[in-house]
Amino acid sequence: MSTPRKIFGVIWVLAGALHFIIPRTYEAIMPPYIPAHREMVMVSGAAEAAGGLMLLTPGLEKPARWWLLAVLVAVFPANVHMALHPDEIKGLPPVPEWTLWARLPFQAVFAALVIKLTEE
């Protein structure tokens, strides 16, 4: 297993753990049309951590690829909502609004990394 894959796997696990450590931060960016914000934050955190663990488990490359790509697609609406409605996000640190838009294309970068790192 490559070092970049190990690093990316750990990052996914840590990102998922943050959903449980600071859930209100994630709840604040949830679009209002998505129900059960707390529960959805917990589910998405568990999904990210599970994907990271799959990346760290030899033989689970293909399931990890599809799992993490699905996670990226699932969380994208919250990222778009945050960019469209930054004034509605309580607790958002003061960041220039352009950064909220600039981060959206990084979902594609993360997807490309997932694909590249699961080709082994």
Over the stretch 45-81, which tens digit does the pLDDT of each residue have? 999 999 999 999 999 999 999 999 999 999 998 889 8
Structural domain harbouring 42: 3-117
Q: Structural domain tally of the chain?
A: 1
What is the spatial distance between Cα 26 and Cα 4, in angstroms, rounded to a whole number? 26
3-class DSSP state of 115: helix
Mean pLDDT over each residue of the chain, to the nearest integer: 91
Over the stretch 21-40, which tens digit does the pLDDT of each residue have? 999 888 888 888 889 999 99
Closest CA to 65 of 14, 107, 118: 118
Q: Answer for the pair 29, 78: CB distance below 8 angstroms, yes or no.
A: yes
At residue 80, the pLDDT reads: 92
Cα dihedral across residues 75, 81, 86, 87: positive or negative: negative
Is the pLDDT assigned to residue 101 strictly greater than 80?
Answer: yes
The reported pTM is 0.88
